[in-house]
Amino acid sequence: MKNQGTETLIIDLRRNGGGNSTLAQFLIYFLFGKDRLIQYLPRQTSREIIKYSDLYFDQVPDGRKKTKPIGIELDKKDYWFEELDDSTPVGHIDIQKATLELDQFYAKIPSFYQEYQTGQYSHYYCPEKIYVLCSPQTYSSGYTMMRMLNEFGAPLVGTPSSQNENGPGWILNYKLTNSGLTGWVACKFYTSFSTRIKNGVYQLDHELTYDELKEYHFDPNSEMLFVLERMKL
């Protein structure tokens, strides 16, 4: 894209059920740069609250370490409001703290950490226009990437995600001892203060209406046709 001078990038998150939201941070790093990533994360409109349990501690070995700074040993059935720190004044961004926390976090991801340390491809190429396609099935980490890119200025196109911004997420898998049945349960509650949310729905910049969908004869790629035609790409 850089070599060809590509002016527009379309990121297709339709029917993206998620996986790992850290991938969104990787993309932000390469597109917008390390400095903007560090400045953005403390400003996120979304916050999360952890529900502790035996299952959580089994699958997150260092889970208890996060509570040590407050001097209270939290246990199962407790909640951890990890990102709501009253020690930092409202509107103030502690860049030094954010830089240290990110460095410690990415150190656990060797495949990316080496690049992160050198900054060789930080803000390597960001096209003039970025559009993000989404659908009702844009969930979890797919939803997180959608929201992050939008907060970096990328317009959202398609049909709103059916995920409620204020709700449970971040699943833990389990297996019942006797029956062998498997399942999953959320261990975090996400809450957002974004002005883009109305009636629990994250609003799009360019919504594909039913009449417009009908014009495209309900083509499965109607969102792609819509953005190509309406944005005159």
Residue 83: the pLDDT is 57
Taking a C-beta distance cutoff of 8 angstroms, is the pair 24, 145 a contact? Answer: yes
pLDDT at res. 171: 85
> Which range, of 58-62, 125-129, 147-151, averages the lowest pLDDT?
58-62
The pLDDT-based confidence of 91 (bands split at 50, 70, 90) is very low
* pLDDT of res. 168: 85
pLDDT average, residue stretch 184-191: 86
Our measurement of the distance from residue 113's CA atom to the centroid of its chain's CA atoms, rounded to an integer in Å, reads: 19
What's the burial of 112, exposed, middle or buried (CB within 10 Å: 0-12/13-18/19+)? Answer: middle
**At CA 201, angle to CA 79 and CA 156, rounded to 5?**
115
* Structure token pair of residue 151: 């907060």
Cα atoms in the 13 Å half-sphere on the side-chain side of 211:
0
**93 pLDDT more than 80:** no
Report how far residue 26's alpha carbon sits from residue 149's, in angstroms, rounded to the nearest whole number: 12
Residue 137 has which token pair? 């099935």
109 forms beta bridges with none
Q: How confident is the model at residue 36 (pLDDT cuts 50, 70, 90)?
A: very high
**Nearest Cα to Cα of residue 32 among 144, 154, 136:** 154
Q: What separation in angstroms does the CA of 120 have from each of 26, 95, 116, 117, 202?
A: 13, 21, 8, 8, 34
**Rounded to 5 degrees, what are φ and ψ at 80?**
-125, 110
Query: Cα separations (Å) of 155 from 8, 77, 149, 171?
Result: 12, 40, 8, 29
How remote is the C-alpha of 119 from its chain's centroid? 22
Question: Residue 52: how many CB atoms within 10 A of its CB?
Answer: 19
Q: What percentage of the chain carries pLDDT values higher than 90?
A: 55
Tokens of 131: 């559009």
Mean pLDDT of 184-209: 88
233 — pLDDT class (breaks 50, 70, 90): low
